[in-house]
Amino acid sequence: MKIYETLSPLTLGSGSPRRDELLSSVGLKFKISPATCEEPSAEPGQLPEDYAIEMALMKARNVAKSCPGTLVIGADTIVARDLDILGKPRDRNNAVEMIKSLCGRSHKVITGCALISKNGDEISYAVTTDVEFINCDIAAIRAYVATGEPDDKAGAYAIQGQGAFLVKGICGSYTNVVGLPLARIMESLISLKAVCPISTE
């Protein structure tokens, strides 16, 4: 059963199945139009939160050009080890090294969010979740990487998949680590009067 009613045409500017599933889980209706722009690397010294917001805005603006008359949702999720931004692994050896560098310590998962209204008004922010990894055996890391799951994931793991075994604990939004801070996004959509709760009366 749906929880929210969609009041305004929505476009998700992402091809991520996980973001699709999260928005669909509360009953929203939307179309999907992935951004087609290239993602530049962060500038030297750029804060991870600022970079995530910049990428989300870039994607949302790219999609908004081809989707007039809809409210566009853009997002970009990154993993930050201290101030180092970890993107998707170059190859499986790089994935092993990434995961190894995160083991036995905490890191941040940051999702930059950007919403562009039909009128061109923009809202943007970053949501951060702290994630702590177990101190994992290298053989288990290699076995996980061999599954292929980390290949296209920022930080080389998926908390909603087999990578969950690495996670000792989190502080903050779980869905943010999956790829979209659903509670914060819903607050934004409600404030923009783009959605409302389903009436059960």
Query: Annotated active-site positions, please?
Result: 76
- For residue 10, CA distances in Å to 22, 61, 164 come to 14, 14, 31
The H or E element spanning position 98 is: helix 92-102
Q: Over the range 13-39, which residues count as b (16 or more CB within 10 Å of their CB) and which as e?
A: bbebebbbebbeebebebebbebeeee
DSSP state of 31: E
Choose among 165, 199, 178: nearest CA to 14. Answer: 178
Helix (H, G, I), strand (E, B) or coil at 48: helix
Tokens standing for residue 1: 């059963």
